[in-house]
Amino acid sequence: RFPALDLAYEALRRGGTAPAVLNASNEVAVAAFLAGQLRFVAITELIARTLDAHTVQPTDELETVIEADRWAREQAQTLLARGLGRP
């Protein structure tokens, strides 16, 4: 019923860099929705696909989290460019 909440719990279960990836891909997805580039119902699909493509790393270093954020934004933009969730 609340797929985005399920994704958040999944990111917490995966741990490491997964929550950073979830956050970054969510920001990209919401911005795309607000710009009319993504259907509302596709927000969670974009986040899920980005999370699924990510290899979780331990968050021992801040640089690892920053890199995961950068990677997730790039990955989400790539999925958008391929036409995922277009209105």
Which residue, 46, 38, 47, is CA-closest to 8? Answer: 47
pTM, entire model: 0.94
Q: Where does residue 76 rank: exposed (0-12), middle (13-18), buried (19+ CB within 10 A)?
A: buried
| Terminal Cα distance for the chain, rounded | 22
If the chain, 87 residues long, is cut into consecutive pieces of 10 residues, what is the mean pLDDT of each piece?
A: 92 98 98 96 97 97 98 98 90
Q: Is residue 29 a contact partner of residue 79, using CB atoms and an 8 Å limit?
A: no
Q: According to the model, what pLDDT value does residue 85 have?
A: 87
